[in-house]
Structure 1
Amino acid sequence: MSNGLPTGLIVSALLKRVNDAGGMGMVRARGEPSSGSILLILNDYFGNTQVLERALGPTGTPALIPAGPSDTSDRVARESYWRRRRDRDPDLWVIELDIASPERFAAETILAG
């Protein structure tokens, strides 16, 4: 999936924005720099976790859609999920963000353009 910018550049911009805002962003798995998929593990300051993936939405435009286990608070299930995905797709980027409103940061950076 491409929205015009290389995936590596999008990931770098997201990590910089999160880190500049006082949060923490890390690459759990590095994917293909020009066109890899992005899987996000989003942790907010209230202990909530979401797993989202950049994909085409119903209108054919890029969107962040829920992914992963039904209970995203189960750390073991989350880890197992992204590792299985990564085994099947070595181009997949796995990014974890710890910040207030992580979905907003992800959407503003990944879906822009």
Structure 2
Amino acid sequence: MIEPRLSAEMIVQSLLRRVNQNGGFGVVLRKGDRISGAILIICLEKGKDPRLLEKMPSLDGPSTWQVIWPQDTEKKQDLDEYLERRTGFDPDLWLIELDVPDAERLTAEIT
């Protein structure tokens, strides 16, 4: 049986509202599919140290937000290059930017 879940648009709106309540800034950079689009979150703190989060499925429980960029590999990609390639593969993708301390904690609270 398929478990009910929030739409992508509802998750994005909840994250933006939560960030604003905590004194941060959030903006939608790219709108995706309202119901089931994947969501990528660029997390910043005072405009610095970007990290990219994506909700990943788990085998033993609910999905969790995980850092997918930067990766600790020898071949470091530019974030813009990665996002351009990713949106080419998935045109239904949401891209939001959150500038708030401890954005990972906020995303975990929403889910």
Question: Per the shorter chain, which TM-score range?
Answer: 0.7 to 0.9
Q: CA deviation at 1:47?
A: 3.0
RMSD, aligned CA: 2.1
Take 1:55 and 1:38, find their aligned partners in 2: how far apart are those partners? 10
Take 2:43 and 2:10, find their aligned partners in 1: how far apart are those partners? 19
What is the TM-score when the length of structure 2 is the normalising length? 0.83
Matched residue, 1:91: 92
Question: Compared with structure 1, are the counterparts of its residues 3 and 103 closer, same or farther at alpha carbon in structure 2 (3 Å cutoff)?
Answer: farther
Unmatched tracts of structure 2, length 5 or more: none
The amino acid across from 1:15 in the alignment is L
Take 1:102 and 1:88, find their aligned partners in 2: how far apart are those partners? 26
Return structure 1 stretches of 4+ with deviation > 3 angstroms.
none
Q: Percent identity?
A: 37
Matched residue, 1:51: 52
Aligned counterparts, 1:1-113, within 5 A? 4-45=5-46, 47-70=48-71, 77-109=78-110, 111=111
The amino acid across from 2:108 in the alignment is A
Q: CA deviation at 1:57?
A: 2.2
Q: Secondary structure at the match of 1:67?
A: strand
Is contact 1:7–1:34 with CA below 8 Å preserved after alignment? yes
Deviations 1:51-85 (A, max 9, x none): 110120242521112213437xxxx8111111211
Is contact 2:51–2:70 with CA below 8 Å preserved after alignment? no
Take 1:65 and 1:104, find their aligned partners in 2: how far apart are those partners? 11
Take 2:18 and 2:67, find their aligned partners in 1: how far apart are those partners? 22
What is the TM-score when the length of structure 1 is the normalising length? 0.81
Q: CA deviation at 1:107?
A: 1.3
Count of aligned residue pairs for this structure pair: 105
Question: Compared with structure 1, are the counterparts of its residues 98 and 87 closer, same or farther at alpha carbon in structure 2 (3 Å cutoff)?
Answer: same
Unmatched tracts of structure 1, length 5 or more: none
Answer with 1 or 2: which has the greater Rg.
Answer: 2
